[in-house]
Every structure is written in C-alpha cells, then in structure tokens.
Amino acid sequence: MKQMPEFARRLPVGAEIAPGLGVHFRVWAPRRRRVEAVLETGAVTLAPEPGGYFSGFARNAAAGALYRFRLDGRAALFPDPASRFQPDGPHGPSQVIDPGAFTWTDAGWPGLALEGQVLYEMHIGTFTRQGTWAAAAEQLPELASLGITAIEVMPVADFAGAFGWGYDGVDLFAPTRLYGKPDDFRRFVDRAHAAGIGVVLDVVYNHLGPDGNYLKEFAADYFSPVANDWGEQINFDGPNSGPVREFYVSNAAYWISEFHLDGLRLDATQAIADNSQTHILVEIGRAARRAAGGRPILLICENEPQHTRMIRPFEEGGYGLDMLWNDDFHHSAKVALTGRREAYYSDYLGTPQELISAVRHGYLFQGQIYAWQGKRRGQPSFGLPLAAFVNYIQNHDQIANTARGHRIHALTSPGRLRAMTALLLLAPGTPMLFQGQEFAAATPFLYFADHKPELMRAIFEGRADFMRQFPSLRAPDMDGTLTIEPRTAFRKSVLDFADRVRNAPMYRLHRDLLRLRREDATIRLQRPGALEGAVLGPEALVLRWFGDKNDDRLLLVNLGPDLHFNPAPEPLLAPPYDKRWEKLLGTDDEVYGGIGTPKVETRAGWVLPGHAAVLMRPVDPPPDTLQREWLLEQETIALRKREKQDA
C-alpha cells in the first residue's frame, strides 16, 4: 500500500491546503464504502481510515477550488459537512479556503475580561442597508465612541435563502456568503479590535436548519432519535457519538483560532442533551480557550431554565463557562415598563424589589416554583460575580415576540424608558443593547426567513401558535401580521442611522451613561458587596454604591408619579459623613428630551420626579453650611421647648 505523505491538519475534517502537496480532504462517513472528492479538474478517491473516516490529497487543487463529495458512486454530489465556504449557498459546491492568506494587525489585542463589558447584539444583514461585513465595519468607530466594548453577532453559519436570522444554519464552518467572504469576516474582526471592540459569535449547537442539511448523507449518527423544540437533536452521547463531539468541539475552536473571535454565545443550551461523563459544553469551553492561546475570551450561555452550573467552576461541579443571559431582569423590567403580565411574563410583577433583586443577585428564580411552567425554575446564583449576568431590556427574540416587531420605546413612555435605561446601564451586571436601541430606532425587528413556501407555512403556523399565549396580540390583523411577506419583513427591519440624529437626546443619554459606567471609579465596581438597594415607593427604588473614601453613588429610579418624602427615614438616602448629595445626571434633563430635573433634596424633604432616574454623588457642603445648620438645629430645639412650656 502506498504510504501517504505526512501532513499536520488544523481541523479533524474538511479541506485544508497542504503546502507542496495540494489540498487534503478528510470526511467522516462511517456507513459509506467509497468517498470521492469531485473537483472541476476531476475526482479523487479518498482512502478509508479507522473509525469511518476517508481522506486523501488532490495534488493540483489550491485555494479557491470548488468541490463536492460523491458517496458510493452515486450520481448525486454533496457539499462538505465541514466546508469553510459555500459561495452559492448550502446546496452548491464547497470552496477551498486558505485561512492563512489574511494579514492580521491585532497582535496587541488583549482579549475580553469578564468585568467592564458592554455588549451590543448585531444582525449583520439588517445592521446596515448593504447588509455586509464591510458596511458594518464602517460603523465600528461610532460604536466604540458610544461605549460598546463587545459585539455579539447573531449566527452566521451558512443557511438557505437570501436572508434570515441565522438560527437555521446548516454549514457550521462556513460563514454565510450573504455578508461577504470569510476574509471579510476576518477584516471586520481585525477592524473591531483596532477600534477597541471585541467580537463574540452566536453559535447554534442544539439543532441544524431544515433546508440544506446534508449531514445524514454522510452519517445518520450525527442526530439523536429524540427531538427537541427545534427539530432533530444532536447525538452527543449515543452510539458512534465520538466523531460528532469532535465535529462540534473543533467548530468552537475553529471560530476562535481562525477568526480571532473573543468568545461564543451558545444558543439554547438547555436543548443540548448530553449524559456523558464530561458534558459537551465543558469540552467546547476547554477547546475554545485552548484555541485562544491564553487570550481571555467570553463564553456566554442562553439557558431558559436558568441553570447557574453553566458558569460555575469545574471544581464546583460546573461547566466552567462565563456568562448567562438574564431573562428575569428583562421580564421584570418589561412588566414595569408596560404593565403587561401575559404568558411567560405572568410570574413577574415589575416591582422595585424585583428590579433590586435582579440587579443585586442576577436571577430572581433560583429554585422557586414558577407557576407559568408549573415547576421549579433556576439554581442559586450566590457567590457568582454580578458581571456574569447579561442584563437587557431588548434582544432579537423579545422584540420579534411582540409579533409586530415593536421595540420597547413604542410600548412605554419616554420617561419610563429613560429611567430604565439608566438602571440597565449603571447596574453592576453586564448590560447588552440590541442594535438601534441606543437611538430608539424607528425600524422594527421582525421575524424573517427565506424558505420554500411549504416550509414557511409550517414556520409561521408555529409562530402563530406561539403568539396565542399573548391575549393582547389577538387583534383583527394578527394573522396578516404573522404572515407578512418575508422579504418585506426583512427590509422593514433594516436600521436607518438617520435615527441617530432624529433621536439625538436618547442617543446622548446612552453615551453619557456608558461614559459614567466606564470612567466613574465607583460605578464601574461590579463586586456584589459594593451595592445596596431599597424600595422607596410602589414604583420607586434607590441603589447605593459604596465607594472608596466615602465616594458613594446614589441612583434613584421612579417609574411612577412624583414622590415626596418629609421625613425620609431610609438609611441609604443619608449622605456620607459631613457630605451632601449633588446631582450627577438626571434622565429628565432637557438634553435627554425631558422637562428638567428638579432639586431632589431640599429643606422641605425629598422629591423624586416621576418617570425619571437621578444619579447623585457626595460633595462637600458650601463653607459655613455646617455652622448654619447647627444654629438652625439649636433654634429648632429652643422653639420646641417653648412650645412645650406654653402647652
């Protein structure tokens, strides 16, 4: 038997350039007897390997070559399961990519630490009118100036059709051709790093899309016989699951190493079933960190049941990941802003205490009964860093789940939204904005996908069934809204950056709040013990940061009508010794679109303006103030004595 030349592969499967040897192909197809790589120049028969793999060299192939696989001599040709690019989409040929051809300039990039981040969820196809990596890159300096530290890009693994959210990806190693070529993605990341912004990629490891998924042609063992909410479950623990695990683990490492990404956001981790001794998420996390080569990255989970073991250390029985999306904060905030308590919002009151608890502890449900589901929800978060909880008042799902794609500013009052924005952006959890939120984008964000008519009908029937849990959405035009023409929904969702100017006060508020978060030494503390909170009224709360050398900060948030306190017997309102409170920022200031913030503390008591938040800092009182106040106190005491004697 002819000995194969030595070649060190980067990935276990796929097509890789072998200098001086051509291109090396390797694929897992355990139930196939013969596998050929079919190129425009001819076919190459791959040699079988133990474990169901096939591999071989195409001597005359190079970067840019198009290829497919032929299985067992059949006429049909299939794209590579580990294709690095599909120039014509999932149904077309795969293309050989040279990941080393791009010249990086980010050697000094430090990576992303857990603390100090401000996330920005972005859908590349609707972020700009062009919908490309190149166009999105032009906006990076503006995002950096705003105060964004990391972009969380919605999934880009290639999917069928001309547009979509990306959660129905089928080619997990191939960044979709819709936004540009792989090197355009690399250039976006390189330019983001130059602007001081990290890039985290949303990846979907719980299912594959329904159109263009050819994995079963190579191995049915990619999938479990058990289905989840999105379709066939991935086989991470059944028979012949070893190569499947290897496929997904190497995919996570691939994005980090070949695209210099700063982390991954793992979609719907509760749907990733694995009873192995070492959970697949642990292996994914370890591989991603190895691929980063010592550069800190962030591994973020979406986990609907709120299992905090995802982010606990290995030695505590956790999975060793970093962050969790916090739906509890969102749900409570939305109820507070809108008053609507339907469906999965029904277990939330939107009270000040809920908001304080979410800010101070992360999750609200940490093992209590959750009536909406009729079971216990969540695990304890005590001892976890507050920065590990990603807080938001908007994301792609929650906006689209209004059916009409209404953003939160269309569902509440401007004052309430400004006040809640202050709470979101100043609280010690990690805040996340959804694209356009910072300037109250007039464009909606709708559900859109470009599938075959019969598949679209099934998708929209499923969404219509989901929406029936919201009574307020049962309007006469509801069916028409849910079946809106997909291309129209896509186009309506594209941002218009002219809204930055039209809604300049809201944009200025976000910029100023993020500047305070970044520059204020007390506010940027994200340690749990540095923050206390108290309820001041039915819709009002106070948060107090305890800084070094009595440099405290006080945030008053009032989502209801004006409140007056005289006296104000709440210890958190008391200034540090020999200090007085001074306004640092008021969300009702005229520069933010309000009517002006009144003086909060006066001799007549405290005044909390309605639908507003006020941030305060301690200052030294004016000269002789303490002496005057002492004299006033003596006069008051003497007056009380005279009144008592007269009585």
Report, as residue numbers or ranges, the catalytic residues: 267, 302
Q: Between the CA atoms of 573, 577, 580 and 584, what dihedral angle is there, to the nearest 10 degrees?
A: -70
Q: Contact 228/206 with Cβ under 8 angstroms?
A: yes
Q: Contact 78/217 with Cβ under 8 angstroms?
A: yes
H helix or E strand, kind and range, residue 245? helix 242-259
SS3 584: strand
The first and second tokens of residue 178, run together, are: 């819709």
Question: In the chain, what is the straight-line distance between the N-terminal and C-terminal CA atoms, in Å?
Answer: 117
* Cα distance between residue 556 and residue 612, in whole Å: 8
Q: Contact 209/170 with Cβ under 8 angstroms?
A: yes
* Cα distance between residue 586 and residue 593, in whole Å: 11
Count of C-beta atoms within a 10 Å radius of residue 225: 9
Residue in the block written with tokens 């004016």: 622
Integer-rounded Cα Rg, in Å, for the chain is 28
DSSP string computed for 537-561: ETTEEEEEE--GGG--EEEEEE-SS
Reduced 3-state DSSP string for 178-232: HHCCHHHHHHHHHHHHHCCCEEEEEECCCCCCCCCCCHHHHCHHHEEEEEECCEE
Question: Exposed, middle or buried by CB within 10 Å (0-12, 13-18, 19+), for 437?
Answer: buried
* Cα distance between residue 391 and residue 389, in whole Å: 6
Chain-centre distance for alpha carbon 42 = 45
Amino acid identity for residue 450 in this structure: D
Q: Contact 362/389 with Cβ under 8 angstroms?
A: yes
Residue in the block written with tokens 């997904």: 248
Q: Contact 338/356 with Cβ under 8 angstroms?
A: no
